[in-house]
Structure 1
C-alpha cells in the first residue's frame, strides 16, 4: 500500500498540511520541523508526487545549481562566481530565482540534489561540473527531471544537454605552443581524474606530445584540487624531480597563482626558470607577476548559455538535447619563454 502524506504526518507528529508545506519548502515552517518531517519521509520511503504538484502550482520559477564541492572551496575559485553571473543574467531576465546546493562529499552533493528535486523547490537543475559515473546525473535521468551540464557528459553526450568548450583542442593547442617555443619537458597540472574537464585537457596535452614523438612522462602529470594550495603542492612535487619540467600546462589560473607564489619564495622566476600557461583567463591573470598566458574559455557565456538551454528544456520538455560549444581564445602574455 502506498505511503501517504497522512502516514508521514502521523510519524512526524504534525498535521498533513505541515507536511505539504515542508514539501514545498515553505518559509513559515521551522528548520527543526522540516528536519523531523524529512526524516519521517525517509523512514517511510515517501516520495512526493511532483508532477501533480507541478500541475497544481504550475512552476516554482526557480533553477537549482549543483556545485562540485563545499561553498568554502567552490567560492575560492573565481570561475564559479563568474559562471553564476552568466546564469543570473538569463535567470533574472526570465524571472527565475536561483537555489544553490553544495556538499563536502559526493554523497552529500547527491543527497542535497535529491532533497532539492523531491521537495519540488526547483523546475530544473544546472550541474556546474561533469563527473564520471555521477549519481546525481543518474538520478536526474531516472526521474526525467530537466537539467543541463556545464561540461561534457561522460556517456551519451548526444542525448544530454550540455554547454562546454573544446577542452581537448584547447589543451592540445597550448601544448603545441610550448613545443614551438622549444620545450620538450612539459608538465601537466590539473584536477581530479573523475572530472571530465581534466580528462579532456589531459587527452589534448598527451596528443600534442605524441604528435611530436615525445614520450609521455607520468612524473610530469600531477593532479591536485583546483585551488591555490593545489598549485603550490603541484609545483613543489614537480621541482623535486631529478629532471623537472621546463614548462607547464596548468588547467586552472588559480592553481597557477599558487605556483607563482611558491616559485617566488624559492627564488625562481617565471618565465626565466620555468614557463607556465594556464586556463580560465581570470581577471588576476592580467595583473599577476608576471601576467599569465591563459586560455580564455568565456566563463560568463558558459553560464549564460547553460541557463538559456535549461529554461528552454523546462518550457519545452520534448525538445531534443542541445550541445553548445563555447569558443576559446589563447591570450598571450609574459609567462612563457622560448628556450635558447
Structure 2
C-alpha cells in the first residue's frame, strides 16, 4: 500500500520546515525559485495533492477563481477565447486553484446582473475574459474581491489589465506590408467595440503616417455591430492591395468573401491578421498572423490574481505581453 504523502514527509526529504513546503507549494514569497521547483516536482512525482477544502477551512478561502466571459465570445465559430479558458483552467490547477467558469448573456450584461458565482460567494477572485460594456464593468469598481481584466483594458477604475501590446503588433504587421511594397492598405474591424481592435487600428494608422501613406476610410470594413456580434463583411467597390484584419476568424471570412467575387489571396489582395488560431492555418493560403504569446499572457494573469488575493492592497496597472509575427503565405511582394 502506497504511503500517504504529507507536508511533513516533504519537509523531512528537503530538510526544511513545513512552512517552507507550504510556501513553495502555494507560490508564496520566502522560497527560492530553485527550491520551489524541486519541491513541486517531488510532490507531483510522489502524488501529493493539496486538499483545498481543508485548506479553505483553515484560511477562510474557497480556493476558487471565477472566469467570466460574454456569451458572444463563445459562439460556434469563435475558438480563441474557448481555448484561452481551457488553458487558464489548466494553469490555475497547476497553481492549486480550482476554476468556476460562467458565461454572461447579453440580457445579464444589459441588466447589470452580477455573476452567480460571485453572489453565491463561491470565488476568491475574478478574471474577466474579453471586453464587456463599460456600464457593466463599472460594477467591479471597488469590488470586495480581487478582479483583473484579461485581453482588454478601460480608462476608468484601477483594475489590473493583462493585454498583449496590440498597438505595436498593429504597427509591426502594417510595416511588414509596406516593406513588401504595399501602399494602399485597408483595415477590417469595428474600432468602437474593443480596446484590442482600437489599439491594432492605431498601430496600423501609425505605420501609415510614418511612411507618409494616406488612410483611405473607404477601405475600412466593419466586422461586427456595436454589441460585438459578428456581421457579414461588405467589400468596398475599389479594393486596396492589402488588408490588416483584427483577428484570424475575420481574416478567414474575408478570404471567403474575396474568393466568392473571384479575387485571389495573395495574388490580388494580401492579408495579415492577429491571434494565430486554427483559422490562420485552415485558410487557403495560410495567413501571416501575430502570435499573441497567449501562454505567457495566461501565466501572468493567473499569478497576478493570486497575488491580489494574498495581498489585496498590491497595485498593478496595465501589463503588456510581447507578441511576435508568424509569416506564412498571404502576402504578395509588389515591385
Q: TM-score range by the shorter chain?
A: 0.7 to 0.9
Distance 2:312 2:326 in 1: 39
Distance 1:187 1:285 in 2: 19
Aligned to 2:277: 282
Aligned to 2:119: 118
SS state at 2:300 partner: helix
Instruction: Give the CA deviation at 1:106.
Output: 6.7
**2:141 aligned with 1:141, yes or no?**
yes
Q: How does 1:40-189 map to 2 (within 5 A)?
A: 58-70=60-72, 72-73=74-75, 76-105=77-106, 107-108=108-109, 111-131=112-132, 134-155=134-155, 159-189=158-188
Question: Are the equivalent residues in 1 in contact too, given 2:205–2:215 (CA < 8 A)?
Answer: yes
Distance 1:256 1:114 in 2: 33
Aligned to 2:40: none
Q: Please, which of 240, 245, 263 is the counterpart of residue 245 of structure 1?
A: 240
Pair 125,256 (structure 1): closer, same or farther in 2 beyond 3 Å = same
Aligned to 2:308: 313
SS state at 2:221 partner: strand
Pair 184,170 (structure 1): closer, same or farther in 2 beyond 3 Å = same
Instruction: Give the CA deviation at 1:143.
Output: 2.4
Question: Are the equivalent residues in 1 in contact too, given 2:188–2:244 (CA < 8 A)?
Answer: yes
Task: Output one character per residue of 1:154-177: Cα deviation in whole Å (capped at 9) or x when no partner.
Answer: 2158x4322111100110111111
Pair 268,283 (structure 1): closer, same or farther in 2 beyond 3 Å = same
Pair 69,191 (structure 1): closer, same or farther in 2 beyond 3 Å = farther
Task: Output one character per residue of 1:34-55: Cα deviation in whole Å (capped at 9) or x when no partner.
Answer: xxxxxxxxxxxxxxxxxxxx99
Tell me, which stretches of 5 or more residues in structure 1 are unaligned?
1-53
Pair 72,126 (structure 1): closer, same or farther in 2 beyond 3 Å = closer
Tell me, which stretches of 5 or more residues in structure 2 are unaligned?
1-55
Structure 2-normalised TM-score? Answer: 0.74
Cα RMSD after superposing both structures: 2.7
Structure 1-normalised TM-score? Answer: 0.73
Distance 2:73 2:137 in 1: 20
- Say which structure, 1 or 2, has more relative contact order (CA 8 Å, 6+ apart): 1
Higher helix share: 1
What is the total number of aligned residue pairs between the two structures?
277
Instruction: Give the CA deviation at 1:270.
Output: 0.7
Task: Output one character per residue of 1:44-93: Cα deviation in whole Å (capped at 9) or x when no partner.
Answer: xxxxxxxxxx99981222211121334652x5322112211331122112
Q: Please, which of 253, 256, 269 is the counterpart of residue 251 of structure 2?
A: 256
Question: Are the equivalent residues in 2 in contact too, given 1:192–1:224 (CA < 8 A)?
Answer: no
**2:204 aligned with 1:205, yes or no?**
yes
Pair 153,71 (structure 1): closer, same or farther in 2 beyond 3 Å = closer
Distance 1:166 1:100 in 2: 26
SS state at 1:307 partner: helix
SS state at 1:325 partner: strand
SS state at 2:271 partner: strand
Pair 111,102 (structure 1): closer, same or farther in 2 beyond 3 Å = farther
SS state at 2:263 partner: coil
SS state at 1:100 partner: strand
Instruction: Give the CA deviation at 1:109.
Output: 6.8
Distance 1:275 1:230 in 2: 22
Aligned to 1:32: none
Question: Are the equivalent residues in 2 in contact too, given 1:140–1:146 (CA < 8 A)?
Answer: no
SS state at 2:70 partner: coil
Question: Are the equivalent residues in 2 in contact too, given 1:83–1:302 (CA < 8 A)?
Answer: no
SS state at 1:317 partner: coil
Distance 1:323 1:77 in 2: 26
Task: Output one character per residue of 1:216-240: Cα deviation in whole Å (capped at 9) or x when no partner.
Answer: 22222222239xx948x32xx22x4
Pair 174,108 (structure 1): closer, same or farther in 2 beyond 3 Å = same
